[in-house]
Amino acid sequence: MNQIRLCIERQWTVEDIVERLSSENSLSLVPTTDHTNVAEAEEYYTFVMNDGVTMIYIIVDRATSLPYVLLNGPLALQCAWLLQMLRMTEELEQIQQYCREASQVDEKIDAICRLGIAAYKDDAQPEVLEIFKQYMRDEDSRVRQSAIFATSFIGWREFEPLLQTALEHDPDRRVTVIAESAIRIMRESDWNSSDSSLH
């Protein structure tokens, strides 16, 4: 079963999300016993829907400090709809627009990492690839580093030529090291397999 990953709206904190979800009758906060994702998280909360099977993980990624929601189970689509109706999560199109409008380095880094979290699908999406191409050519090496790092959230095989170009031609050593690491990680995880959906 595929998981659904959604970015939390920028104005919400993790505490806001946990408090809001705790008040939903169809959800229960449960003690975290599945430690699969904990190593990658600064903060980690688990809710279960009233079907007893569909899990909602609220995660703050350790590397990016970005909060996101991971949904898993038969009611994951229903849960994603609920979160979007409550205006707690960002639509992929919103994040793409944020990427196109970002002009400051910090905004660009935040935007591309959000896109990496939210764009995970089984098939590569041309508009998302185009944004990544643009960010990998940014004049600021920190933006290029973040774009390359964010590819590992998605894991599409179509990233390999872009990463290889960065590895071979980027003038910043930190960028080439991250590109080499991203290629290795994605090859080892067989690119976009279901196990690589978590960073």
The DSSP output letter for 52 is S
- What's the confidence (pLDDT) of residue 40? 56
Q: What is the mean pLDDT of the chain?
A: 88
Of 44, 60, 85, the residue that ends a domain is: 85
- Note whether 61 and 97 are same-domain residues: no
- For residue 199, give Cα distances in angstroms to 50, 60, 78, 101, 117: 28, 11, 24, 26, 9
Of 67, 85, 103, the residue at which a domain comes to its end is 85
Cα dihedral: 64, 68, 72, 75 (round 10): -170
The pTM assigned to this predicted structure is 0.85
Asked which of 85, 118, 151 is the last residue of a domain, the reply is 85
More confident site: 33 or 11: 11
* The total number of structural domains that make up the chain: 2
What is the chain's length?
A: 199
Tell me what pLDDT residue 197 has. Answer: 41
Same domain for 101 and 10:
no
Give the structural domain span for 26. 4-85
Q: Are residues 67 and 96 in the same domain?
A: no
Q: What is the pLDDT of residue 142?
A: 97
* pLDDT band (50, 70, 90) for residue 135: very high
Residue 127: pLDDT over 90? yes
Q: What local confidence, expressed as pLDDT, does residue 36 receive?
A: 55
Question: How many angstroms separate the CA atoms of 197 and 199, rounded?
Answer: 6
pLDDT for res 32: 64
The predicted-structure confidence for 143-187, as pLDDT tens digits, reads as follows: 999 999 999 889 899 999 999 999 999 999 999 999 999 999 888
Structural contact between residues 175 and 141, judged by C-beta atoms closer than 8 angstroms: yes
Helices within 23-140 (DSSP H only): 76-85, 92-101, 105-118, 126-136
Select, from the ranges 1-5, 25-29, 32-36, 128-132, the one with the highest average predicted confidence (pLDDT): 128-132
**Do 108 and 140 touch, CB atoms closer than 8 A?**
yes
User: Same domain, yes or no, for 60 and 133?
Assistant: no
Query: Domain check: are 110 and 13 in the same one?
Result: no
Task: Please indicate, yes or no, whether residues 32 and 59 belong to a single structural domain of this protein.
Answer: yes
Q: Which of 25-29, 77-81, 167-171 has the lowest mean pLDDT?
A: 25-29
Dihedral angle of Cα 179, 183, 186, 189, to the nearest 10 degrees: -130
Output 171-178 pairs: Cβ under 8 A, ≥24 positions apart. Answer: 172/141, 172/144, 172/145, 174/141, 174/145, 175/141, 175/144, 175/145, 175/148, 178/145, 178/148, 178/149
- Name the band, by pLDDT with cuts 50, 70 and 90, for residue 31: confident
Between 193 and 30, the more confident residue is 30
Residues 156 and 69 in one domain: no
∠ CA 16-17-21 to the nearest 5 degrees? 120
CA-nearest of 74, 79, 58, 78 to 8 is 58
Quote the pLDDT of residue 196.
Answer: 40
CATH number at residue 108: 1.25.40
Q: Which residue has the higher pLDDT, 190 or 28?
A: 28
Contact 103, 140 (CB under 8 A): no
* Same domain (yes/no): 156, 134: yes
Helix 173-188, helix 160-169: angle, nearest 10: 150
Q: Are residues 79 and 96 in the same domain?
A: no
pLDDT at 43: 77
pLDDT at 195 over 60: no
